[in-house]
């Protein structure tokens, strides 16, 4: 009985200790003009385990990646359409305390400079569905006419390079 009690206490201690071995990354994502980037996907990949943790920025551009096991990570914000380019930072050390603050200022992506080519003002202001009823034709059918811009992929998959391709890029 005494041996069981000792084992239980040791296991509980290990469990509590394991719970203390998590950290967080928090911050704000802005565009080059300092405006919040809304609904941007953020992901942290644990270098040792290859496990990916995801978050999406809020209306104020803030994000939090919580309960990350202590370790080294790569933080990625994928391209936001043609408007903002991909951000990547490698070898970020996450510790149990304090919470790591990483504010990110994204750079403008390439566009042709053609009027209407850069949808940044529209996309950055768009955070939720438009209020009100669905537009309808005079016959009462849903009206799909107009300009449609696709939504962001909130769970993008980051492709990994094959070893030969990675060696070539280095």
What residues does each domain of the chain span? 22-169
The phi-psi region of residue 26 (left if phi > 0; otherwise alpha if psi is between -120 and 50; otherwise beta) is beta
CA distance 57 to 71: 23
CA trace torsion 101, 170, 54, 120 (10° rounding): 80
Give the pLDDT mean for 129-157: 74
- pLDDT tens for residues 27-45? 999 988 899 999 999 999 9
Contact predicate 78/156, CB 8 Å: yes
pLDDT band at 18 (very low <50, low <70, confident <90, very high): very low
Cis ω before 98 (30° cut-off from 0): yes
Q: What is the mean pLDDT of the chain?
A: 80
Q: How confident is the model at residue 152 (pLDDT cuts 50, 70, 90)?
A: low
Q: Which CATH superfamily is domain 22-169 in?
A: Carboxypeptidase-like, regulatory domain (2.60.40.1120)
CA 9 to chain centre: 39
Q: Look at residue 145 and tell me whether its pLDDT is greater than 90.
A: no
Q: Are 85 and 109 in contact (CB under 8 A)?
A: yes
In whole angstroms, what is the distance from residue 47 CA to residue 57 CA? 23
């Amino acid at each position: 009985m005494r041996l069981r009690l000792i084992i239980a206490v040791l296991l509980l201690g290990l469990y509590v200790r394991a719970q203390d071995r998590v950290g967080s990354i928090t911050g704000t994502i802005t565009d080059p003009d300092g405006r919040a980037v809304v609904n941007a996907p953020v992901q942290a990949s644990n270098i040792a385990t290859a496990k990916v943790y995801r978050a999406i920025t809020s209306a104020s551009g803030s994000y939090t990646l919580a309960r990350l096991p202590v370790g080294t990570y790569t933080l990625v914000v994928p391209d936001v359409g043609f408007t903002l380019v991909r951000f990547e930072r490698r070898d970020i050390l996450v510790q149990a305390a304090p919470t790591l603050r990483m504010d990110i200022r994204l750079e403008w992506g390439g566009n042709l400079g053609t009027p209407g080519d850069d949808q940044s003002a529209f996309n950055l202001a768009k955070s939720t569905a438009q209020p009100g009823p669905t537009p309808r034709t005079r016959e009462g059918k849903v009206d799909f006419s107009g300009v449609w811009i696709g939504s962001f992929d909130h769970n993008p998959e980051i492709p990994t390079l094959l070893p030969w391709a990675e060696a070539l890029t280095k």
